[in-house]
Amino acid sequence: MARWITSPRDFWTGLIYVGLGAGGLWLALDYKFGTVGRMGPGYFPRVLAVILIAIGLVSLFRAFSSKGEPVTHIAIKPLLMIVGAIVAYGLLVHTAGLIVALLVLILMGAAGSSQFRFDVKAIVGMVLLVAACSAVFVKGLGLPIPLVGPWLQPLLGVLGTVR
Amino acid sequence: MEVFDGLALGFATALTITNLSYCLLGVFLGTAIGVLPGLGPAATIAILLPATFALPPVTALIMLAGIFYGAQYGGSTTAILVNLPGETSSVVTALDGYQMARQGKAGRALATAAIASFFAGTVCTFLIALFAPPLTEIALKFGPAEYFSLMVLGLIASIVLASGSILHALGMIIIGLLLGVVGTDVNAGTQRFTFGFLELADGIGFVIVAMGIFGIGEIVANLENEGTRDVSIKTVSGLMPTREDWRRMVAPVLRGTALGSVLGILPGGGAALASFGAYALEKKVSRNRAELGKGAIEGVAAPEAANNAGAQMSFIPMLTLGIPANPVMALMIGAMIIQGIQPGPSVIKEQPALFWGVIASMWIGNIMLLVLNLPLIGLWVRMISVPYHFLYPSILAFCSIGVLSLSNSPFDVYLMALFGFLGYVFKKLDCEPAPLLLGFILGR
């Protein structure tokens, strides 16, 4: 971090606020603004976006003028693994089915922890959790999520004929 | 007396077998998740919200109230036993509670917390029953101008009371309001900020934002320093407070309850402000103030009474005005809207069974806490001592299945991942998520 940024948290917050505000404003320019008396769909968003940009700018100004705390260590690995695990789950749940999606979610998510070991205990826990979730949510509460999705249906058929 | 008629109706509603069992289930689940280090009531409610969708509105709200009390109590348990407060309101409890636990008085500290909470809860249930109906009468006369002023007051209060920077809290409110804009404009029918996604035409689901920011974001934050966490727990024995304990407990509990009831009604107030206030008060007036911070029972009793009183009184602005005083109430309002109820002064007239049923169930929930949690303390202790990396994957799984139960759309799952990411980033930058959620609720 450059030395002239004396309050890094203010700096990053300001940057995010200005970014979100500018993005919002740019999008909101497409919506009709209207007048104060007859506000169009773009009135409220544009006003909000401008306020957000202003707040962000003040925060940026503070980043150079006041002294503040540094941003503490960011847990990049847990963050990426967990967010990635949820996205993978979303991709798999309707295609490969809940069982596979949960296995991926739990394995990837758990791997985000520095304490994670892929041992017997972890596997047993995972299998139990997947079985419990399938039983409670799909069989018990009747959520319309396929346990085995279309991708893996043929596999099920093969297993059926072998048996 | 109208109040007694109301309470009778309320108890008749809450005391059915179904509602009682869901209240019990709520208290149990709430405590189970609430004791997990780092997960406070807001996170617990957000995680368990989808579990209540299939229920009828009254039952759902009763269960949610149970979850809330359970989570609150679970948080104090963790604060006392391992010095890891799940949320700001139990930070103060950890000061003396943990010291008591280190001196081998963990059982007595836990019992004190439960008893103090129960007493405050009982008093506040009756205060709410007394004051809510006349307040709704006034609220019914409110026009848009009064409502707008109240909302602004609530938002300002939530900024001022946010623990981080006021400027950043203001920004979080604006972001919340902007998120509330997403979807189809009611007046003109224009699609705003939908990026062409049909899934966003109805706006962003409130549960998704809450689960992402409070649930997923918290999980990541907790993984940050897991190596340095010490979860060695002393065995808990001797639950019953001694005669001396009882004697010392009375005054602080009364003071805490009184202070909590007053501070809880304030918009933006609630549990956190109340418990800090109560501790500060004890430091001024308690006869044993020299012992505070070194394991004094007053230091557990007063803040616990105050935070339960404050938490419960914050139901008043929610039930009478439909205005959330804190993120937990914002979650409650979200749950009511999902159930098809518009929170506000008309609820008491249109749905008297629901209104009084929730009030009655507050008291029942408090009793259940007392009878359920003291015997089960061994179970909670064991839950705390399970390493976090074994527990959080199940929370991930519940959240992910829960978010699918909303509309069975993977799009919601991606949104939750996005809000989880944002939640963690904002946490790192000291931007409180609570104002964002309040802004989001009020903006819609």
Q: Is residue A2 part of a domain?
A: no
Q: Is residue B65 part of a domain?
A: yes
Count of structural domains, chain B? 1
CA distance A21 to chain B (A): 8
Q: How confident is the model at residue B305 (pLDDT cuts 50, 70, 90)?
A: very high
Optimal mutation site among B391, B395, B401, interface A, most CBs of chain A within 10 A: B401
Count of structural domains, chain A? 2
Q: Are residues A80 and A153 in the same domain?
A: yes
Q: Are residues A82 and A57 in the same domain?
A: no
Domain that holds residue A126: 76-162
B313-325 pLDDT, tens digit each = 888 888 888 877 7
Q: Are residues A59 and A13 in the same domain?
A: yes
Lowest mean pLDDT among A124-128, B239-243, B250-254: B239-243
Q: Are residues A156 and A97 in the same domain?
A: yes
CB contact under 8 A, A13 and B171: yes
Q: Are residues A55 and A81 in the same domain?
A: no
Domain that holds residue B324: 2-147+239-409
Q: Is residue A138 part of a domain?
A: yes
A12 touches chain B (CB under 8 A): yes
Q: Show which of residues 28-87 on chain A sit within 8 Å of chain B, judged by CB atoms.
A: 28, 31-32, 39-42, 44-45, 48-49, 51-52, 55-56, 58-59, 62, 69, 71-75, 78-79, 82-83, 85-87
Q: Are residues A45 and A105 in the same domain?
A: no
Q: Are residues A83 and A58 in the same domain?
A: no
CB B75 within 8 A of CB B85: yes
B150 pLDDT more than 80: no
Q: Is residue A32 part of a domain?
A: yes
Q: Is residue A70 part of a domain?
A: no
- Give B-chain residues touching A113 at CB under 8 angstroms: 223, 226, 388-389, 392
Q: Are residues A87 and A33 in the same domain?
A: no
Share of chain B above pLDDT 70, in %: 92
At B314 the pLDDT is 84
Exposed, middle or buried by CB within 10 Å (0-12, 13-18, 19+), for B149? exposed
Task: Report how far residue B343's alpha carbon sits from residue B317's, in angstroms, rounded to the nearest whole number.
Answer: 10
CB contact under 8 A, A51 and B216: no
CA distance A1 to chain B (A): 15
Q: Is residue A3 part of a domain?
A: no
Q: Are residues A101 and A127 in the same domain?
A: yes
CB A61 within 8 A of CB A7: no
Q: Is residue B58 part of a domain?
A: yes
Q: Is residue B266 part of a domain?
A: yes
Q: Is residue B179 part of a domain?
A: no
Q: Are residues A60 and A81 in the same domain?
A: no
CB B215 within 8 A of CB B424: no
Q: Is residue A121 part of a domain?
A: yes
CA distance B190 to chain A (A): 7
Interface contacts (A, B; CB < 8 Å): 169
- Give B-chain residues touching A31 at CB under 8 angstroms: 185, 190, 192
Q: Is residue B363 part of a domain?
A: yes
Q: Are residues A156 and A96 in the same domain?
A: yes
Task: Report how far residue B337's alpha carbon sits from residue B341's, in angstroms, rounded to the nearest whole number.
Answer: 5
Q: What is the DSSP string of B243-306?
A: HHHHHHHHHHHHHHHHHHHHHHHSTT-SHHHHHHHHHHHHHHH-TTGGGTTSS-THHHHHHHHH
Stretches in chain A below the pLDDT threshold 50: 162-163
* Location of structure tokens 């048996």: A163
Q: What is the mean pLDDT of residues B309-316?
A: 86
Q: How confident is the model at residue B273 (pLDDT cuts 50, 70, 90)?
A: confident
Residue in chain A closest to B218 (alpha carbons) equals: A79
At B178 the pLDDT is 92
At A163 the pLDDT is 43
Q: Is residue B188 part of a domain?
A: no
- Average pLDDT score, chain B: 84
Share of chain A above pLDDT 90, in %: 39
Q: Is residue A1 part of a domain?
A: no
Task: Report how far residue A163's alpha carbon sits from residue A78's, in angstroms, rounded to the nearest whole number.
Answer: 42
Q: Are residues A110 and A137 in the same domain?
A: yes
Q: What is the mean pLDDT of residues B175-186?
A: 87
What is the ipTM, given to two decimal places?
0.91
Q: Is residue B415 part of a domain?
A: no
Q: Is residue B68 part of a domain?
A: yes
CA distance A90 to chain B (A): 5
A44-67 pLDDT, tens digit each = 899 999 999 999 999 999 998 888
